[in-house]
Structure 1
Amino acid sequence: MLEKISLWFWDWKSGHNFQQAQTIVQPGSLDSEAGIYALSYDLTGTRLVTCEADKTIKMWKEDEHATPETHPLNFRPPKDIRRF
Protein backbone atom coordinates (compact mmCIF):
# COMPACT_ATOMS: atom_id res chain seq x y z
CA MET A 1 0.00 0.00 0.00
CA LEU A 2 1.34 3.43 -0.90
CA GLU A 3 1.96 5.88 1.92
CA LYS A 4 0.62 9.43 1.94
CA ILE A 5 3.00 12.34 2.16
CA SER A 6 1.80 15.21 4.35
CA LEU A 7 2.79 18.86 4.33
CA TRP A 8 1.69 21.10 7.19
CA PHE A 9 1.92 24.86 6.72
CA TRP A 10 2.24 27.04 9.84
CA ASP A 11 2.11 30.77 10.50
CA TRP A 12 5.42 31.47 12.23
CA LYS A 13 4.14 34.31 14.44
CA SER A 14 0.82 32.88 15.66
CA GLY A 15 1.58 29.16 15.47
CA HIS A 16 -1.60 28.66 13.43
CA ASN A 17 -1.71 25.65 11.09
CA PHE A 18 -3.33 27.39 8.13
CA GLN A 19 -3.19 24.51 5.66
CA GLN A 20 -2.58 20.78 5.50
CA ALA A 21 -1.92 19.08 2.19
CA GLN A 22 -1.56 15.41 1.36
CA THR A 23 -0.23 13.78 -1.74
CA ILE A 24 0.34 10.15 -2.63
CA VAL A 25 3.18 8.70 -4.63
CA GLN A 26 2.48 8.17 -8.29
CA PRO A 27 1.11 4.79 -9.44
CA GLY A 28 3.93 2.43 -10.34
CA SER A 29 6.30 3.86 -7.74
CA LEU A 30 7.72 1.81 -4.89
CA ASP A 31 6.59 2.28 -1.29
CA SER A 32 10.11 3.43 -0.46
CA GLU A 33 9.64 6.35 -2.86
CA ALA A 34 7.23 8.12 -0.50
CA GLY A 35 9.24 11.13 0.58
CA ILE A 36 10.25 14.70 -0.12
CA TYR A 37 13.89 15.35 -1.02
CA ALA A 38 13.86 19.13 -1.27
CA LEU A 39 11.56 22.12 -1.09
CA SER A 40 11.96 25.79 -1.83
CA TYR A 41 9.86 28.87 -2.52
CA ASP A 42 9.61 30.31 -6.01
CA LEU A 43 10.99 33.78 -6.78
CA THR A 44 7.71 35.48 -5.81
CA GLY A 45 7.64 33.71 -2.43
CA THR A 46 4.00 32.72 -2.88
CA ARG A 47 4.39 29.09 -3.97
CA LEU A 48 6.28 26.20 -2.45
CA VAL A 49 7.95 23.78 -4.86
CA THR A 50 8.63 20.21 -3.67
CA CYS A 51 10.87 17.60 -5.28
CA GLU A 52 9.56 14.20 -4.27
CA ALA A 53 11.09 10.74 -4.24
CA ASP A 54 8.62 9.46 -6.84
CA LYS A 55 10.32 11.73 -9.41
CA THR A 56 7.59 14.39 -9.37
CA ILE A 57 7.78 18.13 -8.81
CA LYS A 58 4.73 19.71 -7.19
CA MET A 59 3.82 23.35 -6.65
CA TRP A 60 1.76 24.38 -3.61
CA LYS A 61 0.09 27.69 -2.83
CA GLU A 62 -1.52 29.03 0.33
CA ASP A 63 -5.24 28.47 0.86
CA GLU A 64 -6.37 32.11 0.95
CA HIS A 65 -9.75 31.23 2.48
CA ALA A 66 -8.33 29.33 5.48
CA THR A 67 -9.22 30.65 8.94
CA PRO A 68 -8.53 29.37 12.46
CA GLU A 69 -12.10 28.02 12.42
CA THR A 70 -11.69 26.02 9.20
CA HIS A 71 -8.16 24.87 10.04
CA PRO A 72 -8.01 24.65 13.86
CA LEU A 73 -4.73 24.10 15.63
CA ASN A 74 -4.79 20.67 17.30
CA PHE A 75 -1.53 21.16 19.18
CA ARG A 76 -1.27 20.25 22.85
CA PRO A 77 2.26 20.75 24.19
CA PRO A 78 3.50 18.38 26.90
CA LYS A 79 2.99 19.58 30.45
CA ASP A 80 6.39 18.39 31.60
CA ILE A 81 9.59 19.71 30.10
CA ARG A 82 11.94 16.97 29.00
CA ARG A 83 15.65 17.44 28.53
CA PHE A 84 17.50 15.12 26.22
Structure 2
Amino acid sequence: MRFHDWRSGHCFQEAETIAQPGSLVDSEAGIFCSTFDRTGFRLITGEADKTIKIWKEDDEATEETHPVVFTPSLKKNY
Protein backbone atom coordinates (compact mmCIF):
# COMPACT_ATOMS: atom_id res chain seq x y z
CA MET A 1 0.00 0.00 0.00
CA ARG A 2 1.15 3.51 -0.69
CA PHE A 3 -0.23 6.57 1.04
CA HIS A 4 -0.16 9.90 -0.80
CA ASP A 5 -0.89 13.51 0.06
CA TRP A 6 -3.92 14.29 -2.10
CA ARG A 7 -2.87 17.88 -2.80
CA SER A 8 0.73 17.34 -3.87
CA GLY A 9 0.77 13.67 -4.84
CA HIS A 10 3.72 13.06 -2.49
CA CYS A 11 3.98 9.45 -1.26
CA PHE A 12 4.58 9.80 2.46
CA GLN A 13 4.31 6.16 3.56
CA GLU A 14 4.52 2.64 2.15
CA ALA A 15 3.44 -0.60 3.81
CA GLU A 16 3.59 -4.21 2.67
CA THR A 17 1.07 -6.81 3.64
CA ILE A 18 2.07 -10.34 4.60
CA ALA A 19 0.31 -13.13 2.73
CA GLN A 20 -1.41 -15.82 4.78
CA PRO A 21 0.81 -18.95 5.19
CA GLY A 22 -0.07 -21.55 2.57
CA SER A 23 -1.20 -19.05 -0.05
CA LEU A 24 0.39 -18.60 -3.45
CA VAL A 25 2.48 -15.59 -2.46
CA ASP A 26 2.72 -13.68 -5.76
CA SER A 27 -0.79 -14.28 -6.99
CA GLU A 28 -2.49 -13.80 -3.61
CA ALA A 29 -0.70 -10.69 -2.39
CA GLY A 30 -3.26 -8.17 -3.64
CA ILE A 31 -5.74 -5.93 -1.89
CA PHE A 32 -9.25 -5.97 -3.36
CA CYS A 33 -10.98 -3.40 -1.18
CA SER A 34 -10.37 -0.99 1.66
CA THR A 35 -12.36 1.28 3.95
CA PHE A 36 -11.94 3.13 7.22
CA ASP A 37 -13.76 2.15 10.39
CA ARG A 38 -16.31 4.51 11.96
CA THR A 39 -13.65 6.38 13.93
CA GLY A 40 -11.59 7.01 10.80
CA PHE A 41 -8.39 5.90 12.54
CA ARG A 42 -8.18 2.28 11.32
CA LEU A 43 -7.96 1.05 7.75
CA ILE A 44 -9.67 -2.27 6.97
CA THR A 45 -8.56 -4.22 3.88
CA GLY A 46 -10.01 -7.26 2.11
CA GLU A 47 -7.17 -9.18 0.52
CA ALA A 48 -6.67 -11.78 -2.20
CA ASP A 49 -5.46 -14.40 0.29
CA LYS A 50 -9.00 -14.45 1.77
CA THR A 51 -8.09 -12.40 4.85
CA ILE A 52 -9.36 -9.19 6.35
CA LYS A 53 -6.69 -7.04 7.96
CA ILE A 54 -7.07 -4.03 10.23
CA TRP A 55 -4.30 -1.42 10.11
CA LYS A 56 -3.74 1.33 12.66
CA GLU A 57 -1.41 4.30 12.68
CA ASP A 58 1.91 4.06 14.48
CA ASP A 59 1.40 5.64 17.91
CA GLU A 60 5.14 6.19 18.36
CA ALA A 61 5.75 7.91 15.00
CA THR A 62 7.06 11.46 15.19
CA GLU A 63 8.51 13.93 12.71
CA GLU A 64 11.97 12.89 13.94
CA THR A 65 11.45 9.12 13.47
CA HIS A 66 9.53 9.43 10.17
CA PRO A 67 10.72 12.62 8.45
CA VAL A 68 8.95 13.79 5.32
CA VAL A 69 11.53 14.83 2.76
CA PHE A 70 9.65 16.46 -0.08
CA THR A 71 10.51 19.26 -2.48
CA PRO A 72 7.53 20.07 -4.68
CA SER A 73 8.12 20.77 -8.34
CA LEU A 74 6.38 23.66 -10.02
CA LYS A 75 6.87 22.01 -13.41
CA LYS A 76 3.65 20.78 -15.01
CA ASN A 77 3.72 17.61 -17.09
CA TYR A 78 1.31 17.81 -20.01
TM-score, structure 1 normalization: 0.65
| Higher relative contact order structure (alpha carbons within 8 Å, sequence separation ≥ 6) | 1
Q: Does 1:45 align with 2:40?
A: yes
Distance in 2 of aligned mates of 1:11 and 1:78:
14
| 1:31-70 correspondence runs (5 A) | 31-70=26-65
Q: Cα 1:20–1:82, aligned 2, differ >3 Å: closer, same or farther?
A: closer
Percent identical across equivalent pairs? 58
More strand by share: 1
Distance in 1 of aligned mates of 2:32 and 2:53:
12
Instruction: Give the corresponding residue for 1:26.
Output: 20
Whether the 8 Å contact between 1:49 and 1:59 is mirrored in structure 2 is yes
Structure 1, unpaired ranges of 5+: 1-6
Give the CA RMSD over aligned residues: 3.0
Q: Which amino acid in structure 2 is aligned with residue 50 of structure 1? A: T
- Higher alpha-carbon deviation: 23-32 or 46-55: 23-32
Whether the 8 Å contact between 1:16 and 1:73 is mirrored in structure 2 is no
Distance in 2 of aligned mates of 1:39 and 1:57:
9
TM-score, structure 2 normalization: 0.69
Structure 2, unpaired ranges of 5+: none
Q: Quote how far apart the aligned CAs of 1:78 are.
A: 5.9
Counting matched residue pairs gives: 76
